[in-house]
Amino acid sequence: MNLTKFFAAPIHAHDCEHCTWRGVIQPDGGSLTDVYTCEESVILRHGSSPPEYSSFPRQTAALVARDKPNSGFALALALIVRQEAG
């Protein structure tokens, strides 16, 4: 997995003004993906059109990350936790 931290802004359009952009990740063999949080949800934006995203409540994302440690949600949570730790 690759944690890409050289982006100053999202690479895909996202129309929710309540979301917080966290950064860009690139899961193994995958495309660049924007990571957002919105309240207790983790959102992975794979493209700019409305259906090009995945989201889970943070607790569910943690379960997915535990069961699939190479998933985009695992990498996204690592990014979020690193940011929260300061």
Per the rule left: phi > 0, alpha: psi between -120 and 50, beta: everything else, 29 is left
Within 5-76, strands assigned E span 20-26, 33-38, 41-45, 53-57
Q: pLDDT-derived band of residue 4, with 50, 70 and 90 as boundaries?
A: low
pLDDT, average across residues 9-22: 94
pLDDT, average across residues 59-83: 93
pLDDT digits (tens, 9 = 90+) for 31-51: 899 999 999 999 999 999 999
pLDDT, averaged across the chain = 90
Q: Can you give the pTM of this predicted structure?
A: 0.89
- Gap between the Cα atoms of 39 and 42, Å rounded: 9
Structural domain count, the chain: 1
> β-strands 33-38, 20-26: how paired?
antiparallel
> Domain limits at 72?
2-85
Q: pLDDT-derived band of residue 2, with 50, 70 and 90 as boundaries?
A: low
Entry field: residues in the chain = 86
